[in-house]
Amino acid sequence: MAVRKYKPTSPGRRHGSVNDYAELTTTRPAKSLCKRIKKTGGRNHHGITTARFRGGGARKIYRVIDFKRNKDGVPAKVASVEYDPNRNCFISLLHYADGEKRYILSPLGIKAGDVVESGAACEPRVGNAMPLEAIPGGLEIHNVEMTAGQGGKLVRGAGNAARIVAKEGNWVTIVLPSGEMRMVRKECRATIGRLSNPDHQNIKLGKAGRKRHMGRRPHVRGKAMNPVAHPMGGGEGRSNGGRDPCSPTGVLAKGGKTRNPRNPSNKRIIRRRKNKRQGQLVL
């Protein structure tokens, strides 16, 4: 796994970099596990733009991922490690012993030919999915469920991993990549290992065109607009906004709480990802 840099033949090439994709073994996905995605361009069913600066982009085909890993007792062979345009980590195609095929999020270090399993009775090896109560403490995990049987919701980004720090009664305490420490039911499943493609964070696009390929249009600052288009627009000369940062409809952009205070999982958070006194990330 490495990041490639081109010769600086143009301003875009000078600062851009790409993944060398050395881990990938094939370029063609399994057709039976693919679905077509319909693009919205940031518009709702009325055709009104509800998410700004979206549109265009390269055509994508969705790969159906098995986040539940509920096929217990059946060993599966890793057939290939593939690129997925819908996420920043790689995916692995599994061929189960009974003939079924499924995609999973590819852990770091897994390669074609390896054998993985799921269930409480399997060994705690990289790529195996087990209930949290069966995973030894201190191991790195990813694709963690928040409700048993619902499928993995936490730790699904490239290069990320959580860690089990304690077990007490029906609850298991884990530390997430953000620094947040929370409790999860012991029946919830997780996959052992760190996710693939850790160098994703080191890639620089280098030019605006690569962002357009991702379906992202140019982002215009509010204070650069006219007052009829944005609350922060207008002013004589280059104004500095004149008010707190906000959206076109006047909703404050900084300092407000975005998490639902009635979320039932809030009471299971032992330590927030940000230290409220210092305002810094807790590691």
Closest CA to 66 of 39, 95, 37, 41: 95
115: in domain: yes
| Domain ranges, residue 120 | 3-200
Mean pLDDT, the chain cut into blocks of 10 residues (283 residues total): 90 93 93 95 95 95 97 96 96 96 96 95 95 95 96 97 96 96 96 96 95 96 94 93 91 83 87 64 44
Q: What is the Cα–Cα distance from 62 to 85, expressed in whole angstroms?
A: 8
187: in domain: yes
Say what the pLDDT of residue 281 is: 43
Say what the pLDDT of residue 266 is: 85
46: in domain: yes
Q: What is the Cα–Cα distance from 91 to 110, expressed in whole angstroms?
A: 10
Say what the pLDDT of residue 264 is: 84
139: in domain: yes
**Which DSSP string corresponds to 107-126?**
BTT--TT-EE-BSTTS---T
Q: How many domains does the chain have?
A: 1
Its pTM stands at: 0.90
Alpha-helical regions (H) of the chain: 11-15, 208-213
Are the beta carbons of 253 and 246 closer than 8 angstroms?
A: yes
Are the beta carbons of 142 and 155 closer than 8 angstroms?
A: yes
Sheet hosting strand 181-185, strand order edge to edge: 129-131, 189-192, 140-142, 162-168, 171-175, 181-185, 269-271
Say what the pLDDT of residue 278 is: 47
Say what the pLDDT of residue 1 is: 63
The CATH number of the domain holding residue 87 is: 2.40.50.140
214: in domain: no
